[in-house]
Amino acid sequence: MMELSHFISPQQMKYLSLLTEKHPTVQSLYAEISSMQAMMGLPKGTEHFMSDLHGEYEAFEHILNNCSGVIKEKATLLFGEWMSQEQVDELCTVIYYPQQKIRLLEKQGVVDTFWYRRTLINLIRLARLLSSKYTRQDVRRFIPDDYDFVLDELMHSQDDEDKNQHAYHEKIVDTLLEIGAQKEFIRALSGLIKNLAVARLHVLGDLFDRGGAPDKILDMLMRHPAVDFTWGNHDILWMGAAAGCMACIMATVRNTLNYGHLRLLESSYGISMRPLYTLAQQNYPNLSPDEAALKTITIMMFKLEGQLIKRHPEFQMDDKLLLEHIDTKTARVTVGEKVWPLIYQQFPTLVGNDYYALTPGEAAVAKQLSGAFEKSDKLHRHVRFLYDHGSVYRRHNGNLLFHGCIPLNTDGTLREVNMEGEGYQGRAFLDYCDKQARAAYRGRHQKDTDFMWFLWCGDFSPLCGRKMSTFAHLMIADRAAFSEPRDPYYTYNKTEEGCEMMLAAFDLNPKEGRIINGHTPVLKGESPLRAGGRIIVIDGGFCKAYQKRTGIAGYTLISNSHGMRIVAHDPFAGVQDAVESNSDIVSTLTENLPFEKRQMVADTDEGKRLQERVKDLKLLLYAYREGIFTSKYEADEEQGEY
């Protein structure tokens, strides 16, 4: 222990004193230090990166189930020499959808005792293979509590001279079949395999909007053992609505109605649309209920956005104040020096001298919606989960993860943004945005909740990254009025120099780290790998609305101990087709990025934390040996207990 300093500071003494409560003996330190040192010699766990899910639950569920092809790859490696491809495909489908597949096989008369025995044994073998990167303690963490003893025993068998262990495990399987527990254990093993296949899931934003089931995605993610998020602008919109931002509430309702997902609001989150539809029919009796509701909520959104913008000149969003420039008699709007015809021809709620003031009917609906969002328990469970596991950006294993952009000037330098009398740029600005987003939900003060609207659509919001022309898109008939120039980030993120500058600004190695983000779909003919490999963009069209432009149904990124792989996915035919025909999403390797040497746990952020922990434990061991603290074993021995 000579490498440790003989001087221990008062602060270290306090910390070591607390450590003695967890490690009261020298022997416990021996065990912990040796365990951590061994753990650092294991291969790095597999990481799975996904982005821009946009409520597409079925495709998300399948890619999460098959781990972007990792499970089939491992099953083929293990069983390919003695099982046909059809048998491997069937086994994988059982892993992906155990209940549905077994039910179908039962109807087909395929399932019998032999099938259950063979399937259980094969699943155990596959789980053992996937567990090789983990300590036994980590494997236990992935096992459901109700099955911990049996699965732990089955997972960690060892050959012995008399085959006693083999007979013991055969008896466990026989007993499961005898008592009728085989289905439950197949389901538990399938879940364990999926958890072992990927050590950590990173979601790079935009779970909400467009697709109809972001709630189901979040329910599934809340059951995942290791997941983190970087928030997207669509997530922030819903988080702002849950925090009470009135403009965010109107926009979430408008988006949901526009995409035809009334179920999400009413059935899942318990937010009634009846008052809105009643008011809408009064305002626009000549329109269908859905058209009238959409028009009513759109005007309410622009009114509340206008009030918010006027409260915050620092957001620099005055160019969005266009209601006041509408001529309701001619149904035209003046933007700068141009006059544009409007899509809407009736404006019964734009009255008086202030077009941004809500009418009594609108105010009543706004109050009802605000109360409904506030009282939605399920929405708040989902939003709290996003806060607890998410952030504006994440530095992970030398890489920089975020959804949108890092605001830049036109010359490629970091843009300085002034908020509350202070200037922020780069990492400091994203830290400020993260802090304000948390303050909005924690305190519900209008100043902070208003900031969520800026994050949703502000010109220099790091989650938005473009000048959103929402008014022109929704209100002006001529598409020539619609223009959404993007932040200079999207020019400079295509250059190695630009990416290296941004990585360095976040204290990451510019020559080895990578930027990983989504937000902007990779279009046909484009590559997700840019700037000499310094950036990976993984928004490839999970959302069905983008798939004609991208030509695929999304990218995912897999990072294991050997390197990174970018995988492109074809559209998903659906769960029913997968269960019935053992079909899988066709996934194509787009880029293979091997590491120079195999990455071990010691090379990761977790490894660095373990190294610091070992250093502290060695210091405590030194303190015990020098008599600074007394080991419990030694104290008991002095009292004659040994």
Please list, in sequence order, all residues whose beta carbon lies within 8 angstroms of the beta carbon of residue 44, skipping any fewer than 6 positions away.
Answer: 133, 199, 397, 560, 561, 599, 600, 601, 603, 604
The pLDDT assigned to 157 comes to: 64
The pLDDT assigned to 211 comes to: 86
Phi/psi region, residue 206 (left: phi>0; alpha: psi -120 to 50; beta: rest), is left
Tell me which amino acid residue 18 is. Answer: L
Question: Which mean pLDDT values do the consecutive 10-residue runs of the chain (642 residues) have?
Answer: 58 87 90 91 91 89 85 91 91 93 92 91 91 83 77 69 65 83 89 90 92 93 92 97 98 96 96 97 95 97 97 94 94 92 93 94 97 97 98 96 96 95 95 97 96 96 92 91 91 95 96 91 82 88 69 81 88 83 78 91 94 92 86 58 45
The pLDDT assigned to 11 comes to: 83
**CA–CA dist 526, 520 (Å, integer):** 12
The pLDDT assigned to 483 comes to: 86
The pLDDT assigned to 5 comes to: 46
**CA–CA dist 398, 47 (Å, integer):** 13
The pLDDT assigned to 324 comes to: 94
Q: What is the DSSP string of 170-205?
A: HHHHHHHHHTT-HHHHHHHHHHHHHHHH-SEEEE-S
pLDDT digits (tens, 9 = 90+) for 364-405: 999 999 999 999 999 999 999 999 999 999 999 999 999 999
E strands of 33-144, at which residues? 47-50
Q: Are strands 587-594 and 563-569 parallel, antiparallel or unpaired?
A: antiparallel
User: In degrees, to the nearest 5, what angle opens at C-alpha 139 toward C-alphas 138 and 145?
Assistant: 105
The pLDDT assigned to 625 comes to: 87
Sheet containing strand 332-335, edge to edge, reads: 326-327, 332-335, 338-341
- Collapsing DSSP states into helix, strand and coil, what is residue 262? helix
The DSSP code for 628 is S
Contact 115, 175 (CB under 8 A): no
Tell me which amino acid residue 640 is. Answer: G
98: nearest Cα among 177, 222, 174, 191: 191
The pLDDT assigned to 589 comes to: 75
pTM value is 0.90
pLDDT digits (tens, 9 = 90+) for 276-310: 999 999 999 999 999 999 999 999 999 999 999 99
